[in-house]
Amino acid sequence: MKNLTLKDIAKALDISVTTVSKALQNYPDVSPKTKKRVKEYAEKVNFKPNSFAAYLRTHESKTVGIVIPRLNHYFFSSILRGIITEAEKHEYMTFILCSDESYELEKIQIERLINKNVDGIFLSIADKTHDLGHIQNIIDKETSLVIFDKYSKLTACSSVVIDDQKAAYTAVEHLIKKGKTKIAHFRGPLLPQNSIDRFLGYRKALDDYGLEYDKDLVFICDDINDTEGYNHMQTILDEKIEIDAIFAVADLPAVGAMNCLLENNIKIPEEVSVIGFSNWLISSLITPSLSTIDQPGELMGRKAFQVFMNEREMKKKKKKVEFKKYEIETTLIERDST
C-alpha cells in the first residue's frame, strides 16, 4: 500500500499541491472553504505528510536522541520514561543509545545522533568520560543539548540534576541522628561529578555533626553494582574495621552490603545501618527494606524534555537562550535498614 502524498490529495480535490500544503499548515492566505475541504479530505484518507521530505525543507526532524550509560538500569529507565512520554505529547520520536559508561562509545553514539539529524540530544555523561570535546561538537552543530543526571560545569547547555551534595548530606545526617558515629561510605568512581558531590555531602555531614572523617572508611565502587558493595562489606569484616553504618552511593551496592551482613548474622539496623541512594524498586522489596534517597527519574526526564522544547522555541524566535541548571527535589525515604 503506497503512502499518500500531497500530489494525490491535490489531484483528488483538483487543486494545486501548494494550496494543499498551505491549507494543512493553516496558512492565512488560503480561503476557509478550501482549508476545510482539504483538511476534511486529509482526515478522511488519513494523510500524514512524509517527515523525510518535510525535513529537507524545514530542517526539523521531530526526532530526539538519548544517550545513557546503562540500559538495564532502574533509574535510567525512569528517565527514559519521562523523556519519551513528554516527547510523545509534542509529536517527537526518541532514539535510544547506550554508552555503556564508555567515553569512546559515548563519542560514537553522539556522532550517530548528529548524523541522523536529531533536533536534540539528551545525555547522561558516562563515568569514564574524561573530556568533553564531543559534547562541544553537539553545541557547535545547531543541535540542542540537555544534560541530565551527571552534571558538568564546563558545557554550555542546560542540565537537569539533583543536588547530590545536599541529598547525600540528608542521608548521612539521618544515620547520625539515629546515633551512628562510625559511618562508612561506599562511593562511586572518581570522575563523575555526582559521585564526588555525594562524597562531599557525606564529609560535610560528618563535619557539621563533629564526627571525624576517616578515609579508611571510604570505599570506591568502580562499577556501581551489588557485588562491589558485597565485597567492600566483606573487606570490612575481614579486616575487622569498626563501623556502625554505611552510606552507599546507590541502592545496588547497599543491597550487596546488606546481603553480606545478613550472611554474617549481623543485625540491620541495630549493629549496622545501611542507607542507599536512588530508590530503586528493589529497595522497597528486600528484607529488611532499604532506606534511601528518592531520586525522581521520571520527573527529571520530563523536565529535561520541557527544557529542550523551551530552548527550541526561544531559538525559533531568535531570542537568546539562557542555559540553566535545573535541580529536582529529592526525598529521604526511611525504611527498616536504618
Enumerate binding residues for a copy of itself (CB under 8 A). Answer: 1, 3, 48, 50-53, 55-56, 61, 63, 65, 71-74, 77-78, 80-81, 84-85, 88, 93-98, 112, 115-117, 140-142, 226, 255-256, 259, 262, 281-282, 285-287
Element (H, E) at 67: strand 63-68
Give the one entry of a copy of itself, DNA, none that residue 18 binds, where binding means its C-beta sits below a cut-off of 5 to 8 angstroms depending on kind. Answer: DNA
Cα four-point dihedral sign 163, 164, 168, 171? positive
Quick one: which of 13, 91, 87, 14 has its CA closest to 48? 91
Residues 186, 226: contact at Cβ < 8 Å? no
Cα four-point dihedral sign 147, 151, 157, 158? positive
Among 12, 18, 213, 325, binds DNA (CB under 7 A): 18
Does 32 contact DNA by CB under 7 A? yes
Quick one: which of 36, 46, 43 has its CA closest to 4? 46
Which residue, 3 or 265, has its beta carbon nearer to DNA? 3
* Closest distance to a copy of itself from the beta carbon of 285 (Å): 5
- At a CB cut-off of 8 Å and minimum separation 6, what does 6 contact? 17, 20, 21, 49
Does 306 contact DNA by CB under 7 A? no
Q: How far is CA 54 from the centre of its chain?
A: 30
Which residue, 165 or 279, has its beta carbon nearer to a copy of itself? 279
* Closest distance to a copy of itself from the beta carbon of 81 (Å): 5
- Annotate 231-283 with DSSP letters as a single string: HHHHHHHHTT---SEEEESSHHHHHHHHHHHHHTT--TTTT-EEE-SB--HHH
CA dihedral in degrees (127, 184, 330, 305; nearest 10)?
10
Among 29, 91, 212, 242, binds DNA (CB under 7 A): 29
Does 142 contact DNA by CB under 7 A? no
Which residue, 48 or 240, has its beta carbon nearer to DNA? 48
Give the one entry of DNA, a copy of itself, none that residue 264 binds, where binding means its C-beta sits below a cut-off of 5 to 8 angstroms depending on kind. Answer: none
Among 50, 227, 310, 331, binds DNA (CB under 7 A): 50
Cα–Cα separations (whole angstroms), residue 318 to 68, 161, 296, 313, 314: 30, 27, 33, 9, 6
* Closest distance to a copy of itself from the beta carbon of 321 (Å): 17
Give the one entry of a copy of itself, DNA, none that residue 34 binds, where binding means its C-beta sits below a cut-off of 5 to 8 angstroms depending on kind. Answer: DNA
Among 56, 140, 142, 212, binds DNA (CB under 7 A): 56
* Closest distance to DNA from the beta carbon of 29 (Å): 4
> Cell triple for residue 123?
545525555
Does 34 contact DNA by CB under 7 A? yes
Positions touching DNA (CB under 7 A) are 2-7, 15-19, 21-22, 24-25, 28-34, 49-50, 53-54, 56-58
